[in-house]
Amino acid sequence: MLDEAALNMVSIHLRGCMGTWWDAKESKIKTWKQFEEAFMVRYASAEMKDTWWAEISNKRQGADESMEDVAHYLEELYDLVKKTNEAHKIHHFLKVIHREIAYDIKQKQTPRTLEEVVDLARHLETVKAKYGKVTIDVGQVLEKMSVVSHSSMITPLESTSGVIGDQSVLSVMSELVKEMKSLKINMARPAIKCFVCGKEGHKKFQCPEFQHKAGKERGW
């Protein structure tokens, strides 16, 4: 069910050259994993991966971007380059965000995961917005978090723009990965089940049996 919904989503998103490629491949691909592998083989050349790494390396937090915005942007790129090392993710995130906040975090001990760093950065961002500067003791926020050292990073090569036909490989794959995650979350939620008739898909007050019974009691 998940794979079927995901592949239907692919058909909607791919246009132009990518759409033509998908038309030829669609009948042979049955799962999201098969699609992802075929798509990456076809479009994610070494040059494209260099481009995505360049996106990660060159990204800087904009004036209108929140910490959450930056984290989501980087996570989409990490999915594309298959980056899973938390220390490297933290290194890049601190390089991207506003210097004052990154500096305050670096002066103390770094949390173990990117999620913890983002939570801390978001807190510092809120304090800065309220008081005009960071005024809290970062050490107090981090005292219960484990320490992790940063590993040295390899600077990615500058390369092509990654635009195929009328679509960017980066934008397409990022959007698909984002929607796939959302799809997984939605499908993981338990189905609504009516406790009157026991059937899925509706609640008590939407239940035909309940409405019929209530109508009879009211003399409808």
Q: Give tens-digit pLDDT for 55-71.
A: 888 999 998 889 989 99
Residues 102 and 160 in one domain: yes
Buried residues in 74-90 as b, exposed as e (16+ CB within 10 A):
bbbbbbbbebeebebbb
pLDDT of residue 8: 86
Residues 100 and 31 in one domain: yes
* Cα torsion 107, 111, 113, 119: sign: negative
pLDDT of residue 28: 92
Q: Give tens-digit pLDDT for 191-217.
A: 566 777 777 766 666 778 777 776 666
Residues 95 and 172 in one domain: yes
Residues 32 and 102 in one domain: yes
pLDDT of residue 147: 37
pLDDT of residue 167: 57
Identify the CA nearest to 31 among candidates 7, 63, 60. 7
Residues 56 and 92 in one domain: yes
Which string of DSSP letters, residue by residue, matches 71-128? Answer: HHHHHHHHHHHT---HHHHHHHHHHHS-HHHHHHHHHSPPPSSHHHHHHHHHHHHHHH
Query: Which residues span the domain enclosing 20?
Result: 2-187
**In DSSP terms, which residues pair with 200 in a beta bridge?**
193
Residues 105 and 203 in one domain: no
Mean pLDDT, consecutive 10-residue segments, the chain of 220 residues? 82 85 91 84 76 88 89 86 85 91 80 86 85 54 40 36 53 73 57 70 71 66
pTM of this prediction exceeds 0.85: no
The tally of domains found in the chain comes to 2
Residues 145 and 209 in one domain: no
